[in-house]
Structure 1
Amino acid sequence: MTQNNKLGLTARIVISMVAGILVGFFFKWLIAGQDERVLQIFGMALPLKAFFVDGIFHIGGEIFIASLKMLVVPLVFVSLVCGTCSLSDTSSLGRLGGKTIGLYLITTAIAISLAIFAALLVGPGVGVDMQSNANFDISEAPSLSQVFINIFPSNPIQSMASGNMLQIIVFAVLFGLAMALSGKAGERLASMFTDLSEVIMKLVTLLMNLAPYGVFFLMAKLFTSLGFETIASLAKYFAVVLIVLILHGLVSYSIILKLLSGLNPLIFLRKMRDAALFGFSTSSSNATMPITMETVTKKLGVKNSIASFTVPLGATINMDGTAIMQGVATVFIAQVFAIDLTVGDYLMVILTATLASIGTAGVPGVGLIMLAMVLQQVGLPVEGIALIIGVDRLLDMTRTAVNVTGDAMVSCIVGKSEKEFELDVFNDPNAGIKDETVDFHHLR
């Protein structure tokens, strides 16, 4: 029996995650505010924080994240070109886009509605006496007209270099359509892009084998520096956001999946474990995109022609986890500052957050910019964001896991409705598992 059969990828990631958390706590205890503390090993004086936390842990985690992000642009462009040019009826692209964007907006609206209801029920900001002197600077969100202008690239190469996903998606779709309409020349080019797609997915598989190490470094660094004192002071807020995230990720998605596709939610959630763990450890939907794409196509049975469109678009505009944070944060900040919001205000929060999930997709610090827009819309002080920044890092990890799960859920529904779905693959418990490991022996 080989090592790969003994321990699956999910188990290795979980073990690495737990080990990283324990090591992080251990180093937090060792350092305990003494940044210059030194450890003597074989006669060498090694500064704990500089050598381990800011050195090994930081470097290992950053290399892992950079390796994942390295794949995002080529994966999105090549997969989307392949998917678009393979559409038998190019006019169906509008229907596909309408379904996908519509579902993402609906799930975002449900997410923030659920968050507001839970926050009003619990009242996380009632009785909280917190005065923040922290300065909070946030970039100004672009106007709606500028948002639409920015969707279309003037220089697609520059868009790829800067990682502007909406512009890359638009260019890839147009390029794929042109290939589909170019006859023999398009067919020859399509064959090359298909081969490129296979090579990129194999590269994803190679990196998945290194994931446990990257996850360990990320967790060790995070939990060495995480301040739990802040979490204690915001326990109610933290708990409400976390519970709503879990409910939306497990219950809301399961109900929507069952109602709109008839698929078994338990099978779906079980097969999403790896991608969700990646999302949790990286806190980035874009960095997790290669793993999400692999899961959706190889384990869940969605054809590449659908997944290559729905997954990149979801990683760009699907903000369910962020919407939940915004809903709870809005209620929390209103209660802390003793500002009463009307039913109309809450409806405006739902509408603003839902539409802003597309409008601010390409803006750095998207979650905080969206929250600032929402707060301004209902007359709440933007400075209130400084109250919750301390616990946002840990919640951001869970938000990303929820977003990634939502991307895959919408992909399954759209794939099933477009008859671009392999039910046998979805129901096969071993589907895609053999693709998670690579035998390096034949390379010798």
Structure 2
Amino acid sequence: MQTLRRSFGLQVLIGMIAGLALGFVARGTGAGSGLAETLRIVGEIFVQLLKTLVVPLVFTAIIASIAALRDLDNARRLVISTLAWFAITALIAVSIGIVLALVIQPGVTAGVSAASAVAPTTAGSWLDFLRGLVPANILGLEASTKLTDDTARTALSFNVLQIIVIAITIGIAAVRIGDAGAPFLAFNASALALFRRILRWVIRLTPIGTGALLGNAIVRYGWQSLSALGAFSIAVYAGLAIVLFVVYPLLLLANGLSPRRFFAAAWPAIQLGFVSRSSIAALPVTEDVVERGLGVPRTYAAFAVPLAATTKMDGCAAIYPAVSAIFVAQYYGIPLHAADYVLIVLVSVLGSSATAGLTGAVVMLTLTLSTLGLPLEGAGLLLAIDPILDMGRTAVNVAGQALVPTIVAKRQGLLDPALQDAGTAQAATA
């Protein structure tokens, strides 16, 4: 089993190295070259395969989880503990972001032009959270229209937060109607097993998919644009690194867990979050490694991981908005007081729920800026490097989404030692 685990990890590492090399080659030959297009298409196909599985997996897994949780005496305690650890880790992350921003002072040394200060087209609000909880339809579908030149393109997407609400409601209803709901629950369990098998097949493509995504990121973004906002970038990535490689390991050790084992199991999901820049795209892999690699029971993981993927974002909703808000205040010469820093903490701890189901850390940033009364145009100063920062932010998001269920399961005595020891090799070979 150890050999199989190392084999899959080595395949992923080789894929990332190959993607990195091919990305630099493609960047040298031009963004429109055949190699660049191949990397883009392969990466997009891999992410699309994962996103296709998100809806059926989340829907069937949560219903199955509701059916199983009825037999657990500590279901309520699990939910409360999960939300509490969401808040604890977010509080630590935002505190680190504030300290780093005050020490590095990225807004004072910024070389970005004020002409790039443009208000974003999307902004977060607490009302969005309330509206987002109410499904627009039974499928959780949303339509968006984008204007390009003289044409308008309408695309459909799923709001995962609404799907969670729908699944919880249907699951509770199926349990409450007793024998009449038994055939539906049996069918749901069968469907869940089917989609999990398909997921195993898709996970086998991870070495190819992550390599293509990383290569495409090199082609599209490069790293030159970081120079004008060097101090800001350093502050953000320093905060992300401290949370990922210092705070999380300390929390694991404090709860009697091995950081080495955690990262060995969770790394496929973390690296996929990094290259795909999407917690939702990484959700199937995250849930898989939490269950099969870290030993968290399926009945709990099926509830906690999808919820975390939409509301638990230490990178996007804690570190980044804290550093960014202080950057904007420093850039415009607006003094912040103790009460303002308290507001940053409150918005970061609670705000990820307010932006759940919405796209991008810019929404969370605008929510923070508007709460503090800072100019929303300041968000426009940071858009040029947002994709590069988003890679690190999403990796931390995904790591936190795997961390909290693992800690809660450990504290509640639910971890399966056999599954935990099995590691991630099963996810690649099942």
* 2:253 aligned partner: 258
Q: Does 1:150 align with 2:132?
A: yes
Q: Could you tell me how far apart the structure 1 residues matched to 2:96 and 2:283 are?
A: 26
Q: Could you tell me how far apart the structure 1 residues matched to 2:363 and 2:44 are?
A: 25
Q: Does 1:57 align with 2:39?
A: yes
Cα pair distance change 1:379/1:248, threshold 3 Å:
same
Counterpart secondary structure, 1:162 = strand
Deviation, 1:153, is 2.1
* 2:23 aligned partner: 24
Q: Does 1:178 align with 2:160?
A: no
Counterpart secondary structure, 1:157 = coil
Q: Could you tell me how far apart the structure 2 residues matched to 1:228 and 1:124 are?
A: 18
> Which shifted more, 214-223 or 123-132?
123-132
Cα pair distance change 1:419/1:145, threshold 3 Å:
same
Cα pair distance change 1:148/1:186, threshold 3 Å:
same
* 2:295 aligned partner: 301
Counterpart secondary structure, 2:46 = helix
Q: Could you tell me how far apart the structure 1 residues matched to 2:104 and 2:128 are?
A: 39
Counterpart secondary structure, 2:287 = helix
Q: Does 1:119 align with 2:119?
A: no
Counterpart secondary structure, 1:128 = coil
* 1:416 aligned partner: 410
Alignment check: 8 A CA contact 2:249 2:259 kept: yes
**CA-to-partner distance for each residue in 1:254-281, whole Å, 9 max, x for gaps?**
222333x322233212221111111111
Q: Could you tell me how far apart the structure 1 residues matched to 2:4 and 2:419 are?
A: 20
Letter in 1 for 2:374: L
TM-score by length of 2: 0.89
Q: Could you tell me how far apart the structure 2 residues matched to 1:199 and 1:212 are?
A: 23
Deviation, 1:124, is 2.2
Cα pair distance change 1:144/1:91, threshold 3 Å:
farther
Letter in 1 for 2:98: I
Q: Could you tell me how far apart the structure 2 residues matched to 1:437 and 1:91 are?
A: 34
Q: Could you tell me how far apart the structure 1 residues matched to 2:203 and 2:115 are?
A: 43
Cα pair distance change 1:238/1:145, threshold 3 Å:
closer
Residues 266-277 of structure 1: pairs in structure 2 closer than 5 A: 266-277=260-271
Counterpart secondary structure, 2:69 = coil
Deviation, 1:318, is 0.7
Q: Which of 192, 195, 206 is matched with 2:201 structurally? A: 206
Q: Which of 389, 398, 407 is matched with 1:395 structurally? A: 389
Q: Could you tell me how far apart the structure 2 residues matched to 1:118 and 1:227 are?
A: 25
* 1:9 aligned partner: 8
Q: Could you tell me how far apart the structure 2 residues matched to 1:108 and 1:114 are?
A: 10
Residues 303-322 of structure 1: pairs in structure 2 closer than 5 A: 303-322=297-316
Alignment check: 8 A CA contact 1:298 1:425 kept: yes
Q: Could you tell me how far apart the structure 2 residues matched to 1:181 and 1:147 are?
A: 28
Q: Which of 230, 238, 248 is matched with 1:235 structurally? A: 230
Alignment check: 8 A CA contact 1:208 1:436 kept: yes
> Which shifted more, 144-153 or 274-283?
144-153
Q: Could you tell me how far apart the structure 1 residues matched to 2:224 and 2:427 are?
A: 43
Letter in 2 for 1:21: L
Residues 346-385 of structure 1: pairs in structure 2 closer than 5 A: 346-365=341-360, 367-385=361-379
> Which shifted more, 338-347 or 62-71?
338-347
Q: Does 1:437 align with 2:429?
A: yes
Letter in 1 for 2:387: R
Counterpart secondary structure, 2:116 = coil
Alignment check: 8 A CA contact 1:306 1:420 kept: no
Q: Could you tell me how far apart the structure 1 residues matched to 2:124 and 2:329 are?
A: 25
Alignment check: 8 A CA contact 1:130 1:336 kept: no
**CA-to-partner distance for each residue in 1:206-232, whole Å, 9 max, x for gaps?**
011112222222222221232422212
Cα pair distance change 1:315/1:90, threshold 3 Å:
same
Deviation, 1:375, is 1.5
What is the percent sequence identity of the aligned residues?
32
Unaligned runs of 5+ residues in structure 2 are 143-155
Superposed CA RMSD in Å reads 2.4
Q: Could you tell me how far apart the structure 1 residues matched to 2:245 and 2:205 are?
A: 28
Cα pair distance change 1:237/1:154, threshold 3 Å:
closer
Letter in 2 for 1:70: T
Which has the greater radius of gyration? Answer: 1
Q: Could you tell me how far apart the structure 2 residues matched to 1:285 and 1:114 are?
A: 22
Q: Could you tell me how far apart the structure 2 residues matched to 1:388 and 1:406 are?
A: 24
Deviation, 1:145, is 4.5
* 2:215 aligned partner: 220
* 2:83 aligned partner: 101
> Which shifted more, 333-342 or 201-210?
333-342
